[in-house]
Amino acid sequence: MQIFTSWPSWAHAEGALSRALPASTVTSLRDAVAFAGRRHGVQQRPTGRPYVEHLLEALEVAVRGAGLSDRDVLVATVLHDVLEDTPCTEGEVARRFGPEVAALVRWVTKPGGGSKADYLASLAKAPPRAVLVKLSDRVSNVQELHRMPWRFQRRYYLETVAYIMPLAGAHPWFAEWFGEWRGRWRRVERWPG
């Protein structure tokens, strides 16, 4: 199973992105990473690592793994948590990166007040490009699930199998990746709840 952790900073990502994507897309991504870095500030992942590493992992999944090159999808992948986890507004994202990027980010943002299960179920109605953003995000989140407490592992595994893996079916690379991941983690299904 391929792991995507070789771009912990923009300096690590830029060369590979420049070889894979048009210069204008790389420029947009550089701007998005800087924007997200400012918005997320000192936030950390549950593992204690800087939050921007997650955003770059999701981008690496999209580009190196799934072979995506759609500028709006890639920029939305970098920005996917700014509406949910920072004071940033959809209007700010739209003004800076365009209304399509803002719409994609909105689709993958859990609305306040709703349950996580309702949000995850609603992704079945999301546009295909928004699904690609969510799939890239989730690969980043689950690829090193072993670093998390076991109760979190079980909950997140079951969520991924129930809600995310069905979305991956329409995207062969993601379907294969999640299938291999599930095979490695299937033992979690036997753990007590």
What are the catalytic residues? Answer: 84-85
148 CB burial (10 A radius; 0-12, 13-18, 19+): middle
- C-alpha–C-alpha distance, residues 131 and 126, integer Å: 6
**Residue 120 exposure: Cα atoms within 13 Å on the Cβ side:** 15
Which residue type occupies 109?
T
Burial class of residue 81 (count of CB atoms within 10 Å of its CB; 0-12, 13-18, 19+): buried
The DSSP 8-state label assigned to residue 70 in this structure reads -
